[in-house]
Chain A
Amino acid sequence: MPENELVEGLGLDEYQYGFVDDEEHVFRTRPGLDEDIVRQISKHKDEPEWMLEFRLKALKIYERKPMPTWGGDLSDLEATLDEIYFYVKPQEQMERSWDDVPDTIKTTFERLGIPDAEQKLLAGVGAQYESEMVYHSLKEEWSSQGVIFDSIEDGLKNHPELFREHFASIIPAADNKFAALNSAVWSGGSFVYVPRGVELKTPLQAYFRVNQERMGQFERTLIIIDEGAQAHYIEGCTAPVYSTESFHSGVIEIVLKKDARFRYTTIQNWSNNMYNLVTQRAVVNENATMEWLDGNLGSKLTMKYPSCYLVGEGAHGDIMSIAYASDGQHQDTGGKVVHVAPNTTSSITSKSISKGHGRSSYRGLCKVYEGAINARSNVECDALLIDATSRTDTYPYIEIEEKRSSVGHEATVSRVGDAQLFYLMSRGLTQEEAMALIVRGFIEPIAKELPLEYAVELNRLIELEMEGSVG
């Protein structure tokens, strides 16, 4: 299908995911958060005692830790947190067959094109609506080889030992305030295990949708890629546009065993009233390769810094990130690479675009511990400013304790050059087309890594956003 038709087929407009379904749920907690709420969540999930204890301990940590004073403006968040629903259960149980998903929810995900994509392109699909996974399926081809792709709740029920071995081992509750919050009230998310030597040929995909107004979504994902295994996981996020603020705070833990290879792709397109504060971290063992591909287009404020802890000799980490901040948006994103073992390598490539009153900030860490001999890391950040009111910041932290290592960081900030625009317009393009073309060229090195349907969506979004941006 030619690209144009595909785009029309997607029926994109300004924020095409802004539609609202009628609120239907089988249970939700009262707004706000206290110990009782945490107990209710745990009870509804019929959890073992140790998990309830873990949640309650995390709640104490959350209450003790102060709000971060760096990054984005969180001054309104405390008030927002008092009013949101921390747990909304949309249906009694998760379905394995698409036909059994309730009609309203089904319609939502059909409008997002999910069952269609599953048939064509994906090894497995999970869909989360409010606080719970409503649908999870994995192709027979993969389940027969021992691949597990389940909701996190079923991971805990059906694989308790594997679950408990890794859960919160990479991101402990005390890691940061929002990891503590997630640890207390987590609900939904995926549990993935790819056994030794199994190579998934097509991606696993998870969709996250928040429909309820004033809702907090706290998905928790645990992914274990065993020795020599390979997989690719994609998550997409959308929500309706409400006048009040919503909140999403995920925790994603990933373990890559020796020689494993894994890519985690996020296309975050939350509505512009969403706080999106996510902790994502991968522990990368000997000769394994972890790739984060992080696209942040939506939300009011995103603070997200995917991390690679390179703990095994020869481990490699790659972080590619695109941020797009328009009016009222602040994308505070970046990445962290921590070199612990010898001969580890990493690269961070960040491209950000700020338009209107938007602000995009790159915040990153490159740390080389003593003993990480021959560690090599390279960080490149490019920022593009569209309007005089746009803002961009770069905050890289470089901490080097090992002499036999090599680390470099480069960043540039530029605007779309008048000469570039003039040239393209002299070739017959309108100003908007010329602007969109230049911006697309700017993000191309990362966009080309995206799965096709997302690359197309990104391009289309940029075209739309560029309308009327010149002059």
Chain B
Amino acid sequence: MSNPSQAVEAPDADEDTPSSLDEGTLESISEDAPSWLSERRRHAWSVFEDTPLPSTRSEEWRYTDVSRVLDFADLRLTTHGALAENGSLPPGLAAAMDEDHAASGHTLLIDGAVVHVDLEPALAEQGVVLTSLKSAVDEHGDLLEELLATEVVPEEGKFQALNTALWTDGVLLYVPPNVKLDLPIHATRWLSDAASAVCTRTLIVAETGSQVSYVEELLSGDFERRTLVSSAVEVIARDGAQVQCVSIQRLGRGAFCQSAQRTLAYRDATLDTLNVNLGASVSRLDLNARLLGPGAHSNMLGLYFGDEDQHFDHNTSQDHVAPDTGSDLLYKGALDESSRAAFRGIIRVHPDAQRTDAYQTNRNLLLSDEARADSLPNLEIEADDVKCSHGASVGQLDSEALFYLLSRGLSQQQAERLVVLGFLGDVMTRLPLSGVVAKVTRAIERKLKSV
């Protein structure tokens, strides 16, 4: 299996200069694009311009004041991927990628561009596609025209509109019918460009009866100036497909990480997501799971652990459109120092979705006097034959567990770490990907040690 950390080519240094978020930039990145794409971009741009900045007076942004943490006028769009001149990887990036040897394929994104892709040749022969979105515009134009930016659309909000207008690159993963990938696809994203806006998209299509897991990791150093890392993720699981999407966010301070994800599960499909948020100064996740065919099921898992003045905002929704569908959401987080987390989740059971089983749980652990957690687990139910429940809690460390560990000779700090890890680890037991569990556990342990 190839190791991407030795296979990265240095991109052309003078390819582009960063440009402000305006119509000129829109026109320059739309150059040479097929008309369907430039139309989609222009439409998105007009929506972006017409959409006011999200305000805390709106329900969806009640807990994050964008006007205080981001100024679009300060940002320059990064269109290319720039490495150090000798082509070597930053140490943090190389270390993370070294964990990902056991994989069906890799892709590496530096700033706004894919700089490396590799895929098991046997899978490529079976028709699996793993490629940069930029090259897919030419090579898989029909598929993109049909599906790209049809789910995470500009009308969803200001950031979704910005991303749809100005995305520079991203990942296309296509798995043909009945093809099963035993090992995950690893995507690694490294951000280096301060005061920039990096807009990328991911499109994953798993055809009937296929199986795939996709693990993405976001990494960077600390930024001295606010940097926007914007992602739009669209995942489609056709009848009977089994898909798992994992995102591990370990960006440096100064980053505003914004991710809009939508998953579509058709008949008897399983589509699970895990979002791990450990890094960035501000992180906002919009996740919408749509259960569109009978027998479809989604596990939606989330983990977050904040310190200093980190701010996490999760906005999830579970749309049960078809009957006999299930979804189970569990988001757990620990908050230290003056960090803050908000969770707003909604289960919508549409009128025809009889025999829905839907669950939603958000649990928070406050580790310091200055930490704060807000939780809004909502239900909207329009069918009668359903089983739905939700729960939310905010509390402190289990004093009995702490006492027990202290009595066994552990220090206060060791004991606290262990209890936090146990609290969060509960989420990972629901994810049947052993390699990923180890990776996430390491990421949390690393963060625990730094606190």
Contact = CB atoms under 8 A, between A and B. Distances in A.
A70 interface: yes
A398 B379 contact: no
A388 B355 CA distance: 11
A69 B12 CA distance: 52
Nearest to A359: B382
B140 to A, nearest CB: 42
Interface stretch (B20-28, B84-92, B306-314, B386-394): B386-394
Q: Which of B364, B367, B371, B390 has the most CB of A within 10 A?
A: B390
Range class of the A interface residue count: 35 or more
Interface in B348-382: 351, 354, 364, 366-382
A116 interface: no
A230 to B, nearest CB: 33
B396 interface: yes
B9 interface: no
Nearest to B354: A388
B385 interface: yes
A145 B127 CA distance: 90
A415 B385 CA distance: 6
A158 B341 CA distance: 51
Given A393-B381, A396-B378, A412 B368 contact: no
Q: Is the interface of A mostly helix, strand, loop or mixed?
A: strand
B386 A413 contact: yes
Contact of B379 (A387, A390, A405, A411): A411
B226 to A, nearest CB: 25
Contacts of B351: 388-389
A409 B377 CA distance: 9
B393 A70 contact: no
B374 A400 contact: yes
Contacts of A70: 59
Nearest to B343: A398
A400 B381 contact: no
Given A387-B384, A394-B378, A411-B379, A400 B366 contact: yes
B375 A398 contact: yes
B394 A395 contact: no
A409 B381 contact: no
A404 B379 contact: no
Given A385-B381, A396-B378, A398-B375, A409 B367 contact: no
Given A392-B381, A407-B395, A409-B393, A397 B386 contact: no
Given A398-B376, A404-B396, A410 B391 contact: yes
B418 interface: no
B367 to A, nearest CB: 7
A396 B376 contact: yes
B389 A413 contact: yes
A395 B369 contact: no
B181 interface: no
B179 interface: no
A308 B284 CA distance: 32
Interface string B390-419: 111111100000000000000000000000
Contact of A400 (B354, B373, B377, B379): B373
B62 to A, nearest CB: 9
Contacts of A411: 377, 379, 389-391
Interface residues of B, number: 35
A402 interface: yes
Nearest to B352: A388
B383 interface: yes
Contact of A403 (B369, B389, B391): B369
A446 B385 CA distance: 25
A403 B381 CA distance: 33
A146 to B, nearest CB: 44
B76 to A, nearest CB: 36
A415 B355 CA distance: 11
Contact of B393 (A395, A404, A407, A415): A407
A410 B359 CA distance: 11
Given A388-B383, A400-B364, A403-B371, A408 B392 contact: yes
A383 interface: yes
A403 B379 contact: no
Contacts of B370: 370
B390 to A, nearest CB: 5
B382 A391 contact: yes
Interface in B321-364: 351, 354, 364
B392 A409 contact: yes
Interface in A372-388: 383, 385-388
Contacts of B377: 394, 396, 409, 411
B428 to A, nearest CB: 23
Contact of B381 (A383, A404, A410): A383
Contact of B390 (A386, A388, A394, A401): A394
Contacts of B59: 70
A404 B393 CA distance: 13
A399 interface: yes
A202 interface: no
Given A70-B59, A412-B389, A413-B389, A393 B375 contact: no
A403 B367 contact: yes
Given A70-B59, A390-B384, A397 B374 contact: yes
A430 interface: no
Contacts of A404: 369, 396
B374 A409 contact: no
A396 B360 CA distance: 13
A394 B379 contact: yes
A393 B395 contact: no
Most A CB contacts (10 A, CB to CB) among B371, B372, B392 go to B392
B61 to A, nearest CB: 14
Interface in B28-59: 59
B380 A388 contact: no
11 contacts: A383-B381, A387-B384, A388-B354, A392-B379, A396-B376, A396-B392, A400-B366, A402-B369, A406-B396, A411-B377, A413-B379
Given A397-B374, A413-B389, 20 more contacts: A70-B59, A370-B369, A383-B381, A385-B381, A385-B384, A393-B380, A393-B381, A394-B379, A396-B392, A398-B375, A400-B372, A400-B374, A403-B367, A403-B396, A404-B369, A407-B395, A408-B395, A411-B390, A412-B389, A413-B388
Across chains A and B, which 5 residue pairs bring their CB atoms closest together, nearest first? A403-B366, A394-B379, A385-B384, A400-B394, A398-B375
